[in-house]
Structure 1
Amino acid sequence: MIEQIEQEEMKIIVFQLKDKEYALPVNHVKAIEKIIHITRVPKTVPFIKGVINLRGVIIPIIDLRIRFAIDDQVYTEQTRIIIVTLDEMDVGLIVDSANDVIDIFMENIEPQPDVVGSIADEFISGVVKLDKRLLILLNLEKVLNPEETLLSVKEG
């Protein structure tokens, strides 16, 4: 008897920060919005830009460029806020652009390469090579580490 091995697929959303492509599992993504007015919240860490009111829901906003210590950039027409949900909490992530949604095979996810001195290392769960593209999969739990991020909004 021949067993058929099914490859597990994962749908990811691909987005850009500076010159790199990052990805998040689509099951964590609630919406992708154009940049809108962000209300600053006093006494928060620098990468928390503030909060937005999105259809009656107040959502904290994190600028991933600042979170990953990448050069700051002026927001453009391409800038997007990716609304993600983790542990029943919605958070917006500011990215340079949201590129596409693609399917990848779980077996194609490789462990993150050892890059000495990269601040974003701790936020990476793996990488995926697709043709000439290298997608960096983010570990959302670490990016949204409540001890560093979300609690500071509430305490502020």
Structure 2
Amino acid sequence: MNVKEITECQTMTMVPNSPTYIEGVINLRGNVIPVINLKKKFHLIDTKIKETSKVIISSLEDNQVGFIVDDASQVLTLMQSDIQSRPELLGVINEKYVNGIAKVEEKLIILIDLLETLTADEIEAIKDTKVG
């Protein structure tokens, strides 16, 4: 899965009978893209979308999918040497989702493997998400 772009969080259209973690779909330049709320997916307490929230648009096989995050400012290309192995104790995030930690300009960035957050059944449900 490759990150294509980061976009502002916009009004979403709800999709009936979709999993609870699918917040809805957005229209991005004519493409209908399902959007996942990772906080709901990870069963976190605060699942609200914030004013600063962004949507990370990623490719998923022949489709696109969006992931809501609290904030993101840019897509970075990292060298393997920039990435440290994941710490053993990361709290509520399952360690299999974490590829490592990168240090960029004195900031630590947790690198989440978005594809690993989804089961095969969930990937199929996302592909089947359509409006009305």
TM-score interval (norm. to shorter): 0.7 to 0.9
Higher Cα radius of gyration:
1
Structure-2 separation of matches of 1:95 and 1:56: 22
Quick check: 1:69–1:119 contact (8 Å CA) kept in 2?
no
Call closer, same or farther: CA 1:80–1:105 in 2, change over 3 Å: same
Work out the CA distance in 2 between the residues paired with 1:35 and 1:130: 24
Amino acid at match of 2:102: V
SS at match of 2:119: coil
Other-structure match for 1:113: 87
How far residue 103 of structure 1 moved from its aligned partner, in angstroms, is 4.7
- Asked if 1:72 corresponds to 2:72, the answer is no
Q: Under a length normalisation based on structure 2, what TM-score does the superposition of the two structures give?
A: 0.77
How many Å apart are 1:90 and its aligned residue?
A: 0.3
Q: What pairs up with 1:38-117 in 2 under 5 angstroms?
A: 38-70=12-44, 71-76=46-51, 78-115=52-89
SS of corresponding position for 2:74: strand
1:43-83: CA deviation from partner (whole Å, max 9, x where unpaired):
2222111212222211110012222333212431x221111
1:143 aligned partner: 117
> RMSD of aligned C-alpha atoms?
2.6
2:34·2:129 contact (CA, 8 Å) conserved in 1?
no
Cα shift at 1:111 = 2.0
Which structure has the highest strand share of the two? 1
Aligned-residue sequence identity (percent) comes to: 32
Tell me, what secondary structure is at the counterpart of 1:59? strand
Q: Relative to 1, partners in 2 of residues 1:57 and 1:155: Cα closer, same or farther, differing over 3 Å?
A: closer
What residue ranges of structure 2 are gaps of 5+ in the alignment?
Answer: none
